Structure 1
Amino acid sequence: TKLAESVELEIERRMAETDPVNGLASLEPTPQLGERYVEHLAALVPPRLDYSSYRLVVDCANGAASRVAPQLFARLGIHAEVLHAAPDGRNVNRDCGSLYPEKVARATRAAGADLGVAFDGDADRAIFALSDGRIADGDFVLYAAANYMEDRGALRGGAVVGTLMSNFGLELALGRRGIGLKRTAVGDKYVLEEMLRSGSNLGGEPSGHIIFADLSLAGDGLVTLLEMLRIMRETGQGFAQIVSGLNPFPQRIRNVRVREKPPLEAVPGVGSALAACRSELGERGRVVVRYSGTEPVARVMVEADSAELVDRHVTRIAEAIVRALGTEESET
């Protein structure tokens, strides 16, 4: 589980008061831990389910999944083309993995595979690729899992827990099933806190951090993959079918470098731009402006049922921040 923020701050305070340790610590390799982890994952698959007919393309991001993922697939009889599974201590996440999902998407389409998945370096995130090369982020995973769990009376808490960045299309799609979406601050620690508070057993982020609380209180990309395969096998549907009810709204994010971080709503020109955006969007979309917790950056996110509305309001708000704070703006 994640540490409470107060505990993190106390650890930081104590570290700041302590002299650095002289010398280097040493670690003894314990290869059997990886084997035990693979055994744990394999035990999550109900014995009645056979995954041997599936063909996957898997991007391990030259990270933590590089050894255990192929071992798990061999254990389950899954045919997998494994990409970027040669870590050298420097190449983790380098032009690969969940930060570059278009790569696994192209490979999945070229291979004619049933499903593609890209993990990040520590393999707690999973982004998927459909057989036709389309990319499916964590919102699609939450939608598929919520539907499956709701149909079986297994979804607790009456809602799925997402974040401020969860797409409005997810909220609408879940709402059609009578399932709520609770939003938290960005970060899987905040998702978990709300899950524990509300009793929900499903939550996650568009970035691919997904928490299946009945299985683990931490995000695990391989667990997420196994859950998607289970839903596909149990329902007899392909991945495209289990996510087909979700139509994400057009969304755009711009990052604006700032020299200081006053409340954005109170910044001259920014507050009026936000008010105009919210007034025009109404129930047709959302706007979120927030500061990065680690960089001198303001993030502007707008999503709506019209790409033209999104582009116009993102530009207007970002330019207002630039003018007021006198910074150079960069886009991602």
Structure 2
Amino acid sequence: MNRGRQLFGTDGIRGIAGEFPLDPASVYAFGRALGRWLKQQTDQPRVLLGMDTRESSPTLVMQVAAGLRREQARPIFAGVITTPGVAWLTRTMGFDAGVVVSASHNPYRDNGLKVFGPDGFKLPDQAEQELEGAILELRQAEPQPLTQLEPLAPQSSLTDAYLEWLYSHGPQLDGMKIVVDAGHGAASQLAPRLLTELGATVHSIGCEPDGRNINAGYGALFPERAQQEVLQTGAQLGVSFDGDGDRAIFTCSTGRIVDGDAVLWLCARWYLEEGWIANPARVVVGTVMSNFALEKALAERGIRLVRAPVGDKYVLEEMLRHGAILGGEPSGHVIFLRLATTGDGLLTLLQVLRRVAATGDDLATLVRDYRPYPQHLINVRFQNRPQLDNNPAIQSVVEQAERKLAGRGRLVVRVSGTEPVVRIMVEAESEQLAVSTCEEVANAIRSAIESG
């Protein structure tokens, strides 16, 4: 995965914009390294660039473009677009690579760089490792940041092409009232436009980005915003996207919030009925964070849930390994491998709407039989990455918790690949058991971190 890396984590390069590894010299070196790497494969590489709505994104795009030009690679700018939009365009429009400037669900001060290959898939770990070595070498050789940057003009035809493809996979909505919360991110214009063209009546919130409000109290991390709007407006459905539009969390007309696990349950039953889950293993891929209720519900239909590490990149790896066509995460990343190479919040929305339209049932009815175990999550922040496996105090508390949960739930403790936090998640048959167990483990980890 990402052991021993200085730059690349679970989902590309992440950090605070303007600071290492997203300081001007490093981002310029990233562009140069990518250009050099692509020149080994083609004489005149074309690289698609896209970004989210953070105030730092335009500058980072120009820095990447400058590095690419230095190596005689041609940058082409799609403007503000979702991460999966870049992946789709890279694959279908003949680009040699695609780069997204975004930090997904993180606050506006953060940003990041994600790279897609010409096949629309995120780069494998080995390729990222090669790029990282080249970036660090180039940065050391040329540490002074650029003072002059050339703006790029976005090509709106690229966004139009992506929306046209999405439109081809959506049902006619005939005035269906839908609440859209884009988290003031990359889907702020795309989602309302797409749904309006499909005939929906759209009520938009979280669709007015100002450079600093991305993911701030709106979007997939705060689905209660859309929930409130759905209940107040009488909408038939609500959807919340994260900052780069690769996640979608739903709200039923009843106010029930539907996460990625519930979407996997809904679509797995649909795909099974259509005969699409026909691989010998009959596998759907989730993660270590997927609710135990999903595993049990799928097993009742003869479908095995394979758990990958957290990160849609690793979900995809397991899907390819097992020949699965459906996989995802509770956070709302869902991969429909028959249609796309990465999680796409807009495509997920269209798949859910297709099922609603085909059955004539509302979303609340379609997910009525799926009831997740109560789940509690605590993030413990750190400055220096803790060694969880080598700490006897932490191991003792974890073992005690696992004994307490035996047969009644499960515990997951992991270091995040995108933020400096340890994530502690407990699922249990009761809310009280989940909360108390999670707090016990979190307190132990917090104490161990503070004591060094």
**Same fold at TM > 0.5:** yes
Identify the residue that residue 286 of structure 1 maps to in structure 2. Answer: 410
Q: Write out aligned runs for 1:201-240 (5 A).
A: 201-240=325-364
Identify the residue that residue 276 of structure 1 maps to in structure 2. Answer: 400
Distance 1:297 1:67, change over 3 A: closer
Tell me which amino acid in the other structure corresponds to 2:283.
A
Distance 1:112 1:142 in 2: 26
Identify the residue that residue 304 of structure 1 maps to in structure 2. Answer: 428
Identify the residue that residue 122 of structure 1 maps to in structure 2. Answer: 244
Distance 2:446 2:187 in 1: 41
Q: Work out whether 1:16 is the aligned partner of 2:131.
A: no
Identify the residue that residue 43 of structure 1 maps to in structure 2. Answer: 168
- Match of 1:116, SS state, is strand
Q: Give 5+ residue unaligned stretches, structure 1.
A: none
Tell me which amino acid in the other structure corresponds to 1:26.
P
- Tell me how far 1:184 sits from its aligned partner: 0.8
- Match of 2:426, SS state, is strand
Query: Is the 1:138–1:205 contact (alpha carbons within 8 Å) kept by the matching residues of 2?
Result: yes
- Tell me how far 1:10 sits from its aligned partner: 1.7
Tell me which amino acid in the other structure corresponds to 2:167.
A
Distance 1:174 1:77, change over 3 A: same
Distance 2:132 2:424 in 1: 30
Query: Is the 2:381–2:422 contact (alpha carbons within 8 Å) kept by the matching residues of 1?
Result: yes
- Tell me how far 1:269 sits from its aligned partner: 2.5
In terms of mean alpha carbon deviation, does 202-211 or 309-318 score higher?
A: 309-318
Distance 1:318 1:62 in 2: 32
Cα displacement string for residues 37-87 of structure 1 (whole angstroms, at most 9, x for unaligned residues) = 221111113xxx532142111112222222222221222111111222222
- Match of 1:65, SS state, is coil
- Tell me how far 1:156 sits from its aligned partner: 4.3
- Match of 1:161, SS state, is strand
- Match of 1:56, SS state, is strand
Q: Work out whether 1:26 is the aligned partner of 2:151.
A: yes
Q: Work out whether 1:4 is the aligned partner of 2:124.
A: yes
Q: Write out aligned runs for 1:37-116 (5 A).
A: 37-45=162-170, 49-116=171-238
Cα displacement string for residues 152-201 of structure 1 (whole angstroms, at most 9, x for unaligned residues) = 11124411111111111111111111111111111010011111111100
Tell me which amino acid in the other structure corresponds to 2:164.
E
Query: Which structure 1 residue ranges, 4+ long, deviate > 4 Å from structure 2?
Result: 258-263
Distance 1:156 1:26, change over 3 A: farther
Query: Is the 1:259–1:327 contact (alpha carbons within 8 Å) kept by the matching residues of 2?
Result: no
Tell me which amino acid in the other structure corresponds to 2:177.
R
Q: Which among 282, 288, 291 is matched to residue 164 of structure 1?
A: 288
Distance 2:418 2:213 in 1: 23
Distance 1:33 1:296, change over 3 A: closer
Query: Is the 2:180–2:238 contact (alpha carbons within 8 Å) kept by the matching residues of 1?
Result: yes
Query: Is the 1:156–1:201 contact (alpha carbons within 8 Å) kept by the matching residues of 2?
Result: no
- Match of 2:354, SS state, is helix
Distance 2:244 2:450 in 1: 37
In terms of mean alpha carbon deviation, does 49-58 or 74-83 score higher?
A: 49-58
In terms of mean alpha carbon deviation, does 195-204 or 156-165 score higher?
A: 156-165
Distance 1:83 1:296 in 2: 30
Cα displacement string for residues 190-241 of structure 1 (whole angstroms, at most 9, x for unaligned residues) = 0111111111000111111111001101111110010000011112211011
Tell me which amino acid in the other structure corresponds to 2:153.
E
- Tell me how far 1:263 sits from its aligned partner: 4.2
Q: Write out aligned runs for 1:247-286 (5 A).
A: 247-258=371-382, 260-261=384-385, 263-286=387-410
Tell me which amino acid in the other structure corresponds to 2:347.
V
If the length of structure 1 is used for normalisation, what is the TM-score?
0.92
Distance 1:252 1:220 in 2: 26
Query: Is the 2:237–2:250 contact (alpha carbons within 8 Å) kept by the matching residues of 1?
Result: yes
Q: Which among 432, 444, 450 is matched to residue 320 of structure 1?
A: 444
Q: For this pair of structures, how many residues does the alignment match?
A: 325
Tell me which amino acid in the other structure corresponds to 2:253.
S
Distance 1:57 1:201 in 2: 29
Q: Write out aligned runs for 1:169-180 (5 A).
A: 169-180=293-304
- Match of 1:298, SS state, is strand
Identify the residue that residue 79 of structure 2 maps to in structure 1. Answer: none
Distance 1:322 1:82, change over 3 A: closer
Query: Is the 2:254–2:364 contact (alpha carbons within 8 Å) kept by the matching residues of 1?
Result: no
Distance 1:153 1:135, change over 3 A: same
Query: Is the 1:285–1:302 contact (alpha carbons within 8 Å) kept by the matching residues of 2?
Result: yes
In terms of mean alpha carbon deviation, does 170-179 or 88-97 score higher?
A: 88-97
In terms of mean alpha carbon deviation, does 63-72 or 194-203 score higher?
A: 63-72
Query: Is the 2:386–2:449 contact (alpha carbons within 8 Å) kept by the matching residues of 1?
Result: no
